[in-house]
Amino acid sequence: MVTSRRRFMAGMVAAAAGTAAGGLAACGRHGPGADTIFVGGPVVTVAPGAPEAEALAVTGGRISQVGTAEDVMRLRGSGTTVVDLRGRALLPAFVEPHSHPFEMGTTLAPPAVDVRPFTVSTAGGVFSRLTEVVADTPKGQQILLNGVDPLLQTGLKPFTRTELDRLAPNNPVVIITNSGHAAYGNTAAFTAAGITKTTPNPPGAQFMRGPDGQLTGEVREAAALMALTAPFSGAIMANAGDNLRWAYSQLARAGIATATEHSYDARTQSEVFTKLAAQPDCAVRVRAYEIGTPELADDPKNVRGKRAGADVLFDKIGMKIWADGSPWQGNIFTTFPYLTNATTAGMGLGPGHRGGMNYSPEQIQALTTAFINQRWQVSCHVHGDAAIDVVLDAFEQAQVPPALRPRLEHVGAMRPDQFARAAKLGVTPSLFIEHIYYWGEVLVDKLFGPEYGARWMSARSALDAGLRLSFHNDGTVTPPDPIGNIATAVNRVAKGSGRVLAPEQRIGIDAAIRAQTLNAAWQLRLDTEIGSLEAGKYADMVVLSANPRRVPPGELRDVAVEATYLMGRQTYGKLLG
Residue 13 has pLDDT above 90, yes or no: no
Number of domains, the chain: 3
Domain with 495 in it:
318-523
pLDDT at 232: 84
Write the pLDDT tens digit of every residue in 166-179.
999 999 999 999 98
- Separation CA 181–CA 191 (nearest Å): 21
DSSP state, 155? Answer: T
- 398-to-291, 368, 497 alpha-carbon distances in Å: 19, 7, 45
**pTM, whole model, 2 decimals?**
0.89
72 shares its domain with 125:
no
Question: Is 134 in a helix, a strand, or coil?
Answer: helix
Is residue 266, in this structure, part of any structural domain at all? no
Q: Who's near 74: CB < 8 A, 6+ residues apart? A: none
Torsion angle, alpha carbons of 524, 528, 529, 533, to 10: 110
pLDDT at 236: 79
41 shares its domain with 126:
no
Question: Is 307 in a helix, a strand, or coil?
Answer: coil
119 shares its domain with 25:
no
pLDDT at 6: 40
Residue 290 has pLDDT above 80, yes or no: yes
pLDDT, the chain, mean: 93
DSSP state, 298? Answer: T
- Separation CA 171–CA 164 (nearest Å): 10
pLDDT at 31: 57
Is residue 281, in this structure, part of any structural domain at all? no
Write the pLDDT tens digit of every residue in 524-568.
999 999 999 999 999 999 999 999 999 999 999 999 999 999 999
Last residue of a domain, one of 206, 235, 264: 235
pLDDT at 87: 97
215 shares its domain with 359:
no
State the CATH number of the domain containing residue 20.
2.30.40.10
Last residue of a domain, one of 235, 254, 279: 235
State the CATH number of the domain containing residue 196.
3.10.310.70
Going by pLDDT thresholds of 50, 70 and 90, the confidence category of residue 20 is very low
Q: Is 57 in contact with 75 (CB distance < 8 Å)?
A: yes
Going by pLDDT thresholds of 50, 70 and 90, the confidence category of residue 106 is confident
24 shares its domain with 142:
no
| Nearest residue to 88 (alpha-carbon basis) of 548, 509, 553 | 548
Comparing 8 with 70, the larger pLDDT belongs to 70
pLDDT at 205: 93
* Mean of pLDDT values over 125-151: 94
| Nearest residue to 89 (alpha-carbon basis) of 50, 37, 54 | 54
Question: Is 290 in a helix, a strand, or coil?
Answer: strand
43 shares its domain with 137:
no
What beta strand segments (E) does 363-451 contain? 377-382, 407-410, 428-431
359 shares its domain with 498:
yes
Residue 200: count of CB within 10 angstroms of its CB: 6
Is residue 387, in this structure, part of any structural domain at all? yes
Is residue 426, in this structure, part of any structural domain at all? yes
- Number of helices (H), then strands (E), belonging to the chain: the values are 21, 22
Q: Which of 25-39, 317-331, 336-350 has the lowest mean pLDDT?
A: 25-39
State the CATH number of the domain containing residue 370.
3.20.20.140
Last residue of a domain, one of 235, 266, 287: 235
Percent of the chain at pLDDT exceeding 70: 95
Is residue 184, in this structure, part of any structural domain at all? yes
pLDDT at 551: 98
pLDDT at 278: 98
Comparing 18 with 465, the larger pLDDT belongs to 465
**Element holding 563 (H helix, E strand):** strand 561-566
Torsion angle, alpha carbons of 216, 222, 228, 234, to 10: 160
Q: At what angle do helices 101-108 and 240-253 cross, to 10 degrees?
A: 110
Is residue 252, in this structure, part of any structural domain at all? no
188 shares its domain with 333:
no
352 shares its domain with 474:
yes
324 shares its domain with 473:
yes
pLDDT at 32: 80
Going by pLDDT thresholds of 50, 70 and 90, the confidence category of residue 442 is very high
DSSP state, 413? Answer: T
Amino acid at 363: Q
Write the pLDDT tens digit of every residue in 44-80.
999 998 899 999 999 999 999 999 999 999 999 999 9
- Separation CA 152–CA 150 (nearest Å): 6
366 shares its domain with 436:
yes
Write the pLDDT tens digit of every residue in 185-243.
999 999 999 999 999 999 889 999 999 999 999 999 989 999 999 998 887 788 899 99
162 shares its domain with 83:
no
Is residue 295, in this structure, part of any structural domain at all? no
Is residue 341, in this structure, part of any structural domain at all? yes
Residue 381: count of CB within 10 angstroms of its CB: 26
Percent of the chain at pLDDT exceeding 90: 88
Question: Is 434 in a helix, a strand, or coil?
Answer: coil
